[in-house]
Amino acid sequence: LAKTTQPISMDSYEGQEVNITCSHNNIATNDYITWYQQFPSQGPRFIIQGYKTKVTNEVASLFIPADRKSSTLSLPRVSLSDTAVYYCLVGAEAAGNKLTFGGGTRVLVKP
């Protein structure tokens, strides 16, 4: 299983862009990269998934360099409601057979 490493926490201010980088040095050729968001006392929520280059949806963007050994989740113009824990999952961890979470990044958005 590809192991992921993320910063434990990040602080930001309303209106700023937040970028969270996840390292996954032993990512396998077929592995996808998936990000989840979790608010306190709620279940995680799927944000975005990608394989290479860039993926964008209405919530976030995901940047994946050519070597795929890392990925960056970008949250544009954050608001207080984006305060949450963000988890990066890779490959077999994100596959339906074993959805295994790493440590996650606790993002605090300040006014």
Q: Which residues bind another protein (CB under 8 A)?
A: 28-32, 34, 41-46, 49, 85, 87, 91-92, 94-104
Name the residue nearer to another protein (CB basis): 2 or 18. 2
Give CA–CA dist 44/84, Å, rounded: 10
Name the residue nearer to another protein (CB basis): 59 or 95. 95
Name the residue nearer to another protein (CB basis): 13 or 39. 39
Min dist CB 75 to another protein, Å, is 19
Min dist CB 52 to another protein, Å, is 13
Measure CA of the first residue to CA of the last residue in the chain; give whole Å. Answer: 39
Specify the DSSP element, H or E, that contains 70.
Answer: strand 70-75
DSSP characters over 71-86: EEEEE-S--GGG-EEE
